[in-house]
């Protein structure tokens, strides 16, 4: 988010009143069912170094750990945070060589074209819809958490239908397809899919595949691969998680904790989300209703879907 946008967000947020947690309404035309889940609960606090949290993604190799990054203008680094206890601990910092944090807005952990777990960092923010290209940097998820400089593979993208702002990067664990969800004000956004597989060294085209909510600030796929979530957040969108099946049919809307600038979401496990905000250090765990957890029976860990191609 740009500095001007952040200032506007702060001004609006300071005048907003906290509201009770509720499940957002669904349109009569929607086939989804609004279901009140169990109450969210504090999970961990962020350690120093994430003052502008802009994306988070759960590890597939290290239980209780998620990867996160800061917003535009900050270091070109991904931080590994242990959120298994009430106080989050910085486990490792990964510096992405040859990259610049132009506007890092999304991060996802998912399989590469060979099925190996990888961290994908989305330099996809475009507040003024002026960028001719956006990019995604990918590096192998490390076996051990220790500070390191990594050399990512970079993929360049344009949209088939013009320029868009975006803050949500997803990787389908089943198809291995990269997806980007646009961020719009007062109108539904879109989910765009990358070609399979995207090619480094050339510009790849993102094409629209499904509708998303307005003011989408982050997204993630379920460990089951049978659903994905897109979240909205203040000040210009409701603090709500929208859960869809892979074809884009909405399954549920789930209220999130009231956050003035909710920017991040990932799956804690197959039945709950982790959510965070750019301007506070509390990470929340949000249980999902049963209708938002298809295919979760028997799913223990995200890495079950990360297998090499045979």
**Per-residue pLDDT tens digits for 223-281:** 999 999 999 998 899 999 999 999 999 999 999 999 889 999 999 999 999 999 998 99
User: What tokens does 227 get?
Assistant: 């659903």
Q: Is the pLDDT reported for residue 100 higher than 60?
A: yes
Pair 88, 80: CB distance under 8 Å:
no
Percent of the chain topping pLDDT 70: 85
- 15-29, 47-61, 173-187: least confidently modelled range: 15-29
- 21-35, 84-98, 127-141, 185-199: least confidently modelled range: 21-35
Tell me what pLDDT residue 9 has: 43
Q: Is the pLDDT reported for residue 299 higher than 90?
A: no
- 16-25, 44-53, 188-197, 199-208: least confidently modelled range: 16-25
Percent of the chain topping pLDDT 90: 81
Q: Is the pLDDT reported for residue 68 higher than 70?
A: yes
Tell me what pLDDT residue 260 has: 85
Tell me what pLDDT residue 17 has: 29
Tell me what pLDDT residue 279 has: 84
Tell me what pLDDT residue 1 has: 55
Pair 82, 58: CB distance under 8 Å:
no
- pTM, rounded to two decimals: 0.86
Tell me what pLDDT residue 263 has: 94
Q: Is the pLDDT reported for residue 159 higher than 80?
A: yes
Tell me what pLDDT residue 36 has: 59
Mean pLDDT across the chain: 88
Task: Give mean pLDDT, residues 83-108.
Answer: 98
The Cα–Cα gap between 153 and 118 comes to 11
Tell me what pLDDT residue 293 has: 97
The Cα–Cα gap between 13 and 223 comes to 33
Residue 22 pLDDT grade (very low, low, confident, very high; cuts 50, 70, 90): very low
Pair 121, 77: CB distance under 8 Å:
no
Strand partners, 121: 107, 137
Short-list 281, 285, 233, 282, CA closest to 51: 281
């Amino acid at each position: 988010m740009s500095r001007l946008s952040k200032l506007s967000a702060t001004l609006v947020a300071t005048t907003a009143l906290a509201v009770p947690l509720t499940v957002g309404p669904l349109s009569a035309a929607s086939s989804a069912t609004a279901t009140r889940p169990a109450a969210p609960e504090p999970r961990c606090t962020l350690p120093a170094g994430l003052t502008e949290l802009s994306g988070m993604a759960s590890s597939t190799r290290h239980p209780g750990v998620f990867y996160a990054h800061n917003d535009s203008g900050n270091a070109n680094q991904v931080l590994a945070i242990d959120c298994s206890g009430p106080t989050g601990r910085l486990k490792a910092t990964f510096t992405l060589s040859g990259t610049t944090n132009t506007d890092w807005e999304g991060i996802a952990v998912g399989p590469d074209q060979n099925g190996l777990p990888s961290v994908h960092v989305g330099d996809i923010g475009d507040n003024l819809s002026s960028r001719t290209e956006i990019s995604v940097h990918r590096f192998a998820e490390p076996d051990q958490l220790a500070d390191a400089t990594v050399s990512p593979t970079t993929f360049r993208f344009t949209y088939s239908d013009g320029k868009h702002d975006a803050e949500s990067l997803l990787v389908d664990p089943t198809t291995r397809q990269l997806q980007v969800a646009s961020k719009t004000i007062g109108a539904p956004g879109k989910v765009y899919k990358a070609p399979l597989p995207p090619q480094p060294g050339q510009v790849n085209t993102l094409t629209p595949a499904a509708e998303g909510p307005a003011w989408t600030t982050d997204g993630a796929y379920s460990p089951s691969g049978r659903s994905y979530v897109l979240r909205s957040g203040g000040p210009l969108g409701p603090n709500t998680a929208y859960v869809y099946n892979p074809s884009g049919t909405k399954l549920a809307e789930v209220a999130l904790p009231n956050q003035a600038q909710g920017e991040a979401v990932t799956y804690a496990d197959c039945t709950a989300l982790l959510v965070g905000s750019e301007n506070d250090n509390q990470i929340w765990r949000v249980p999902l209703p049963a209708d938002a957890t298809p295919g979760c029976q028997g799913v223990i860990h995200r890495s079950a879907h990360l297998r090499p191609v045979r």
